[in-house]
């Protein structure tokens, strides 16, 4: 215990940074929980999609064309409010919101919940997390639909 106190005394800036980082993570997680934002891992998203969940990709059209999840709808985040009426058929389905890194999707989740969507989630880590999990992406603007 004496060595820990000695280290903390010798490296106050480092200890302060560590404590601040820890509190920031705790605060952001508590804020997400208070807003009701639920995150799903990439593997859980696969299960949801297999059970008829819809995926909405908030990235730009260029980023979407570089690679997206199969059958994901591209609705850039700045157009989401204007296109809510076109998403009415998804209110009874699970909807997963995807962004680049999982940071900006929380606001979209809140928007859809306020619009009456029953179960809305965001993809933890966004497309970066999806790619890091080694899951497939589709390139190009459109995907072929099964008949």
* pLDDT tens digit sequence for 56-97: 999 998 999 999 998 899 999 889 888 888 888 888 889 999
Contacts of 26 (CB under 8 A, 6+ apart): none
- The Cα–Cα gap between 76 and 95 comes to 15
Amino acid 34: pLDDT? 66
75 compared with 140, residue with greater pLDDT: 75
Mean per-residue pLDDT of the chain: 85
Widest distance between CA atoms in the chain? 70
Amino acid 145: pLDDT? 46
- The Cα–Cα gap between 28 and 18 comes to 16
| Whether the predicted pLDDT of 32 surpasses 80 | no
Dihedral angle sign, alpha carbons of residues 128, 129, 130, 134? positive
Helix (H, G, I), strand (E, B) or coil at 68: strand
Q: Which two tokens stand for residue 8?
A: 């903390």
- With cut-offs at 50, 70 and 90, classify the pLDDT of residue 147: very low
Helix (H, G, I), strand (E, B) or coil at 11: coil
């Amino acid at each position: 215990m004496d060595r820990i106190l000695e280290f903390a005394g010798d490296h106050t800036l480092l200890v302060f940074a560590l404590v601040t980082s820890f509190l920031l993570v705790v605060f952001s997680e508590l804020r997400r929980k208070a807003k009701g934002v639920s995150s799903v891992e990439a593997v859980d998203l696969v299960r949801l999609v297999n059970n008829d969940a819809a995926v909405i990709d908030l990235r730009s059209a260029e980023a979407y064309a570089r690679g997206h999840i199969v059958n994901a709808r591209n609705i850039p985040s700045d157009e989401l409010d204007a296109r809510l009426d076109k998403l009415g058929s998804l209110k009874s389905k699970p909807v997963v919101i995807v962004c680049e890194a999982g940071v900006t999707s929380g606001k979209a989740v809140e928007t859809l919940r306020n619009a009456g969507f029953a179960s809305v989630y965001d993809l933890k880590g966004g497309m970066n997390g999806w790619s890091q999990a080694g899951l497939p992406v589709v390139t190009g603007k459109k995907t072929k639909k099964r008949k």
